[in-house]
Amino acid sequence: MSAGEFGELTQTPLQKVWIPRMSKRLQQRRGSSVPQFTNSPTMVIMVGLPARGKTYISKHLTRYLNWIGTPTKVFNVGQYRREAVQSYKNYEFFSPDNEEAMQIRRQCALSALRDVKTYLSLEEGQVAVFDATNTTRERRALILQFAKENGYKVFFIESICDDPDIIQENITQVKLTSPDYKDCNRDEVVGDFLKRIECYQKTYEPLDDELDSSLSYIKIFNVGSRYLVNRVQDHIQSRTVYYLMNIHVTPRSIYLSRHGESELNLHGRIGGDSGLSERGKQYARALSGFIRSQYINDLKVWTSHMKRTIQTAEALGVPYEQWKALNEIDAGVCEEMTYEEIQAHYPEEFALRDQDKYRYRYPKGESYEDLVQRLEPVIMELERQENVLVICHQAIMRCLLAYFLDKSAEELPYLKCPLHTVLKLTPVAYGCEVESIFLNIEAVNTHRERPQHVSHKASQAPLNRHFRAVPMASPEPTKQPCREDLGLPPPPCLFDLQNVDVTRNPEEALDTVPNHY
């Protein structure tokens, strides 16, 4: 068979995705503009009494799945309830004997399910996390029937906790700032919430090993002291279990730092494997002093395999672990070139990278999207660890920071990670606190701002060698009306897929390149 029968070969790789045969209705529902990492949408259903960490798990899982490229959104039924009932009085609203409140709560759950259907069926979402107590078999049966009618897979996550200290900690960490208790003191909050838990306990029916043996689920006991997994059936469920068995709630801090300034940094050259400059060596010594001043218990230090991170770690005088996965982005044919040289020799490549920096892949090199896939084992190990110092590179640090701060694919390549600055990340209940510490050693600026005047023109030969829609950041979990309902036009596409203008003058192309020596 001749090559002509297949069409002319191009540099644009085709993404082959297996999708099972579907009815015309399901084909219309799924669409085709977003690659499918699941062969049917998945509903992740939280189960458990209040103050068992369900929302914590929901937010972390959603952040992780979005980071690896699976469009995921949380639907928190508590937020729907707060919209329906503007003022919360007390725990009696959750009493199983309060028929009026029971009806309101049921309607809130149904409203959330309608939004789940919109997200999975019309907005090309792949995973919906249904964050509610779902403590009765009746409620779970309702959800299962809904999923069956719409062709969704279902995976349950039940969080079980009988440790009073953990429950008390959850209440004081999260519920004190809940909108339900905005005008209450600590004792009032704790007292009312404990009574709310008692209301749920009256009707709580945990997942049962025998009665629910046909369901797919994981049970998490006392925030990870023990797990029970049943009937994991696909890739998404497997990744979910893998992730949940790695996260923990032990207080800790993660320190992110780039290597000290390198010789190639001084000359504005990207990539390479040069050693530290004199100021870079000063920073390594300053970093050592800073780490000692923190009095960190059992600190682990990770570096890449590259000379400049290893030299930075050597000054600490402590053992360190080298990760090849932490190596800087591979710039391919552009390694050790300045931005000016790339613009002069490869103007099309320079323009294409400005068009879509996250998905752009250097010829014979990597993209930021590739880095995210490469760094997943690092993220998993970071979730398992306690206190860690990661000495890495600009692109790597951006990817790690985007995970912990839940940043989008559009934001990630432009996150500021300056030299000679330590970022201290401290995970908290529903997010991550960031402290930036500059160690008073000057260094060159390697941050290139987002170009403001990138023009797009269609041409006969597409410049895109690689494109795939990846959400990265978690969508807003709050209930919002559809744009169509408000009479608004569809939102603009996040990335313009037209080809960039390669005829722009060099001054315009280089206007955001930082000065270097």
Task: Characterize 192-224 residue by residue with b for buried, 16 or more Cβ atoms within 10 angstroms of its Cβ, and e for exposed.
Answer: bbbebbebbeeeeeebeeeebeebbbbbbebbb
Which position has the token pair 């006969």? 460
Q: Sort 437 into a burial class: Cβ within 10 Å, 0-12 / 13-18 / 19+.
A: middle
Which position has the token pair 């789940």? 116
pLDDT in the model for residue 43:
99
* Torsion of the alpha carbons at 8, 12, 18 and 22, rounded to the nearest 10: -80
Whether 386 is a known active-site residue: answer no
SS3 393: coil
Q: Sort 461 into a burial class: Cβ within 10 Å, 0-12 / 13-18 / 19+.
A: exposed
Q: In CATH, which of 3.10.450.30, 3.40.50.300, 3.40.50.261, 3.40.50.1240 is domain 254-468+480-509?
A: 3.40.50.1240
Whether 453 is a known active-site residue: answer no
Non-local CB neighbours of 320 within 8 Å, separated by 6+ positions: 301, 302, 303, 310, 313, 391
- Among 39, 42, 96, 89, CA closest to 65: 42
* Torsion of the alpha carbons at 247, 50, 214 and 116, rounded to the nearest 10: -90
* Tokens representing residue 382 in the block: 């970071």
Contact status, residue 494 vs residue 429, Cβ threshold 8 Å: no
pLDDT in the model for residue 495:
40
Annotated binding site for substrate: 258-265, 308
Exactly one of 60, 124, 158, 259 is catalytic; name it: 259
pLDDT in the model for residue 191:
94
Q: Which long-range contacts (CB under 8 A, 24 or more apart) does 174-179 make?
A: 174/51, 174/55, 174/56, 174/429, 174/430, 175/51, 179/82, 179/88
pLDDT one digit per residue (tens) for the chain, 517 residues = 444 443 344 444 443 333 333 444 444 433 333 445 557 999 999 999 999 999 999 999 999 999 999 999 999 999 999 999 988 889 999 999 999 999 999 999 999 999 999 999 999 899 999 999 999 999 999 999 999 999 999 999 999 999 999 999 999 888 888 888 888 888 999 999 999 999 999 999 999 999 999 999 999 999 999 999 999 999 999 999 999 999 998 899 999 999 999 999 999 999 999 999 999 999 999 999 999 999 999 999 999 999 999 999 999 999 999 999 999 999 999 999 999 999 999 999 999 999 999 999 999 999 999 999 999 999 999 999 999 999 999 999 999 999 999 999 999 999 999 999 999 999 988 889 999 999 999 999 999 999 876 644 433 333 444 444 455 677 665 444 443 444 444 444 334 445 456 667 777 778 788 876 5
Exactly one of 60, 124, 158, 328 is catalytic; name it: 328
CATH for 41-244?
3.40.50.300
- Among 42, 116, 110, CA closest to 74: 116
Contact status, residue 419 vs residue 263, Cβ threshold 8 Å: no
Contact status, residue 473 vs residue 411, Cβ threshold 8 Å: yes
Domain segments of the chain as ranges: 41-244, 254-468+480-509
Bridge-based pairing of strands 321-322 and 300-303 is parallel
pLDDT in the model for residue 432:
93
Q: What is the pTM of this model?
A: 0.83
Domain 41-244 and domain 254-468+480-509 have a common topology: yes
Work out the number of other CB atoms within 10 angstroms of the CB of residue 81. 22
Beta bridge partners of 438: 421
* Tokens representing residue 462 in the block: 């597409």
Query: Could you tell me how many helices (H) and strands (E) the chain has, helices first?
Result: 16, 12
Annotated binding site: 258-265, 308
pLDDT in the model for residue 506:
78
